[in-house]
Structure 1
Amino acid sequence: MRTITAAIPGGTIKAIPAKAHAHRALMAAALADSASHIRFHRSSRDIDATIDSLCGLGATIERTEDGVRVHPITTPASPGQVRPHESGTTLRLLLPVAAALCRTTEVDAKGRLPQRPLEPLLGQMKAHGVTFSKDAPPFTMTGLLSGGTFSMAGNISSQFFSGLLLAAPLLGETTVISEGPLQSRDYVRLTIRVLQDFGVTVNVTGDTFHIPEGSHYHGVKDYAIEGDWSNGAIWLVATALTGQTFTVTGLTADSVQADRRSATIIEKAGTTLTYTDGGLTATGKATLPLNVDLEQCPDLLPILSILACGIEGRSRFYNGARLRLKESDRLAAMAEMITSLGGSVHIDGDTLYVDGTGRLTGGRAHCYNDHRLVMAGTLAALISDTPVTLSDSEAITKSYPQFFDDWQALGGNSYEL
């Protein structure tokens, strides 16, 4: 549990490594034909879960001063071990990869992860030669995954598509098809970029993805992970809430990360963003209510809904159905947080409405062991009349272990209870 006061941070900070990029690059490196050096200056509990799981499948991964050196899997483990802890990305991406490598794989899961959906991925894997001891982890997978054509609904999780694409070079000619519009499409674009960076050919026609026979991963001697737009957006929102200037370095303007959309959203709200050689600088308080389609960027909802509290008028966040399937039901959890801190909010179906007044009263909020709620609650303190106390604040280690250290170093104030 942690309390945050209204002390306003500001200054310059380097964006932490993009977790989504790191997961995919580590997996590609572990499947390559030679060793790779993956550069990232900070890790997290989720990235560590992917490293641990890849070692459980037969890779050797050594920590270096600026990242890790990945020695690829030459002899798959028997049985393989996938240990995602609470990382949904690790689990969903590695299920097809592990099944393509190991005849038997033991799969563990912690927290809310066993309740998060795995269909239709499991159904497609079953149709391609894999059996499961039960339909929710922990379970045992048996049988090698075969190639061919995989076809799934695109409105559950893009991670199912990314997992199959990552496994595809091990399977021979493979086609992955989205039935209906593919949500969170940018995460699949990121997967394809990583596959191509490691030498794999991917042919894309609409929402159909084809990996030809003979396409293989090749090691990369020096591979840098992008700065993370999801977490970099925290500092941009801090400026939008308070007017205090922030510069965030390491964010790539042409990134395919879904949450780069945060820049456009914040600019439309009235904050000025300027790219220079020194990074992305945010200036000026936001004044215009938000109208945000969450279909391609659901992870932005927690911090943007707090920004909406700091702007007078009604903001709307729509197409948020998949937020109910995250580490918490984020639609309900954010409505509860905003209400408990003195704000006005209501949910209509999968749409969240925030009636902002520019201020919150502060108080206590429950974070449901969800790292993004911890970030949102911390930002809420900046516009609160009294300090904000957050339960489950240690959940921040899932994606950003040094968050509160950075908050303090930049002039914010928080303390553990």
Structure 2
Amino acid sequence: MKKIWSWYLQKSFMTKMTAGFVLGIIAGLILGPQSEMFGPLGELFLKLLKMVVLPLILLSLIVAVNHSNPKELGRIGAKIFPFYIIATGISVCVGIMLAKLTNPGVGLTLPTDVEVVAPEKPSFLSILMNMVPSNIFEAFVAGDVLSVVFVAVVVGLSFLYLRHSGNEEQQAMGELLLKVTNAGNEATMKLLNGILQYAPIGIFGITAQTIGHQGVDTLIVLGKFVGTSYLGVILLLTVVFPIFLKLAGVRVIKFYRDIKEAVFTSFVTCSSLGTLPLTIKCAEKAGINERVAKLTLPIGATVNMNGTALRFGVAVVFAAEIMGITLSVPELATIVIIGTMAAVGTAGVPGAGLIGMSIVFTQAGLPIEIVALTAGVNVLLDMAFTCGNVTGDLVGAKVVDQSERRAERKAAALAAQRGDATVSQASTTE
């Protein structure tokens, strides 16, 4: 048994994950609905990941804030949020253009036996207000990630100001608190490493259950819709994101090689937040500064939804074709804007996908009941869209990191020039 365990540990993480995925597909196809029995294996894996997410976000953000300063935090935020909005808007456009080419809704009809009730859309102000928890512990119990991010930043800033206080006693307390937080962060990462050893088994369970449950009939009926969605995500990964990376001076193939574990895990788990611990590890492997990664990735996992935005673009054309409606260019332009705001503004809210779809469909004058038509392949779609979301988070972090590095080099060069000028002036005086 010890030899088998040693052999298992020696295999690369990606090899083990791929083996679990392939075996899961085989089991799902052979056993069909009976593959439901493997579901608990995948459920356990997701629970383990979610168990470690909030402590990781809290501790890593506090540490990241203390490796920065308030001015630096504002600068990084001013860079990452424009990226989120631009990348999300482009994703909506990609979805619309592809759907216009493939016509995924032609030949399908609106389901009449299913009624879908959209949750009430939260206002932008209420989303901002909900970020501030009235009870810190309640935020953790509810799994409210945006609130946990807010708490982590505020607590991290309090540590930072203690450490830079003029009072020596406060400085000592701040250093002690940061040291304890660093220790907790390291312990959390050790726990994550242990959880990832179980990951291939969890991936097997999730894949077997998904493939066995979905069935082939629904996939055939909605084949063009699924195919268009997957093609859209492939275009994001192979065209749109590489353009951002190239403009930032990043070697695309090497970057994708470094983040492949996070991308693959997000595809199988359908969870940006569940994948976040591995996303942060892959960011480190991709050479993204720890300060930038731990500040941007937790926020990106709840706000940056490139894959979901692409879904809105495909879905609105899909629904329009079912209803026999031709959308004009101004209407499509409006949908791009609304889809972008829906993807960013409803992220992190329970039922975010349904809320976003209801916003976009209402704007286009389309019935939300069409959502029910895609329910049979929803899991397969979520796999692709989550993959797009997580990849977008990592691309954004890398782009900001490259910008920060360029700014640091420029500042260092200016400092060196000033130093040379000072030396030259002193020599002349002598």
> TM bucket by the smaller chain?
under 0.3
TM-score by length of 2: 0.24
Q: TM-score, normalised by structure 1?
A: 0.24
Larger radius of gyration: 2
Comparing both structures, which one devotes a greater share of its residues to strand? 1
* Structure with the higher helix share, 1 or 2: 2
